[in-house]
Homo-oligomer: A and B are copies of this chain.
Amino acid sequence: MIKAGIVGATGYAGAELVRLLFAHPEAEIAAVSSVSFEGQALSEVYPSYRFLNDMICEDQDAVVEKSDVIFAALPHGLSQELAAKCIGAGKAFIDLGADFRLKSEDEYAEWYGGTFLDKSLHEQSVYGLPEFFRDAIKGKKLVANPGCYTTCSPLAIAPAVIKGLVSVKGIICDCKSGVTGAGRKPTQGSHFPELNEGFHAYKVASHRHTPEIEQTLSKLSGEDVTVTFVPHLLPVNRGILATVYADIKDGVTFEQIRDSYEDFYKDEVFIRLLPDGQCADIHNVRYSNFCDISIHHDKRAGKLIACAAIDNMVKGAAGQAIQNMNIIFGLDETAGLILVPPAF
């Protein structure tokens, strides 16, 4: 059994790792830590875990010591030092935060306001979106787990971009996320009476996931991609729907586009490409690692419209992190992750 440790276990991404690892056939949780709840049982913070995981939250060092792989679910800026410690101790490190996602230190500085503390660490790190970068992940010890929007948006449009069927200019990602994406800490915006029966955009064209989406699409296409990214907040717990718009190039048929998707995703277990006429729905992927994708043709305007739905806490965070763990430890990539999304 792989010994897994979770640093930041009482945040939502950490808590979701606990839920998913519970059922993993080849990994077990060795230790968990939490700054806010050190010394308390995880099941005091999340009573739904009672009798299933009553581990006491320890400190970071205890987690590192007891684990083969450390999952870090920390606010940005706090992972680099921990990563160095883990890598130094020969452990695998999977970062659910943003510290290692951007390859360009300039972009990191611009969007997050920090610097790369140890450039060699950043060079060792790999961006953990397995459907695109599986081969690069294998054998690595330091994985930057993508964000939620940044998983969903590129998955929606990548095949057409890679095949050069759509223009990489003017791509629009209109995304809608459930509120768990904003974390466990209560705020006015997540206060039930003010979010319930509401819906709005936020951080319009200024969200930190923008450069990360661009980095992925640029790498896949070999071109310099700029996207317009607008996130919105849904009054639901889980799920992201990305509705992505791209201009179809002259002479390209929708059949070619559909073929590109079918071909690109044909061996991907977690991608469910829907038949024509169906629309991806976050309802159908909740609590699972699936990404449902539907593609649509605006014939009048010559646009491809691709919808991708994920559970932001699973494929958009904890599930994908475990998928990365499976890859780097040479397990079946789907181990512990074939979860049935409930029908209701």
Interface residues of A (CB under 8 A from B): 12, 15-16, 19, 22-23, 46-53, 170, 172, 174, 176, 178-180, 184, 186-188, 190-202, 204-205, 210, 226-228, 230, 232, 234-239, 241, 243, 245, 247, 272, 274, 278-288, 292, 294, 296-301, 303, 305, 307, 309, 313, 338, 340-344
Contact = CB atoms under 8 A, between A and B. Distances in A.
Given A180-B193, A236-B235, A238-B344, A305 B204 contact: yes
Contacts of A198: 236, 239, 281-284
A224 to B, nearest CB: 12
Contacts of A341: 48-49
Contacts of A272: 50-51
28 contacts: A12-B344, A47-B281, A49-B341, A49-B343, A50-B274, A170-B170, A174-B174, A180-B344, A184-B193, A190-B191, A192-B192, A192-B195, A192-B196, A197-B239, A200-B280, A200-B307, A200-B309, A201-B307, A204-B296, A204-B298, A204-B305, A205-B298, A205-B301, A205-B305, A228-B303, A230-B296, A287-B287, A287-B342
A42 to B, nearest CB: 9
A32 to B, nearest CB: 13
Contacts of A179: 192-193
Contacts of A280: 200-201
Contact of A301 (B170, B190, B313, B342): B170
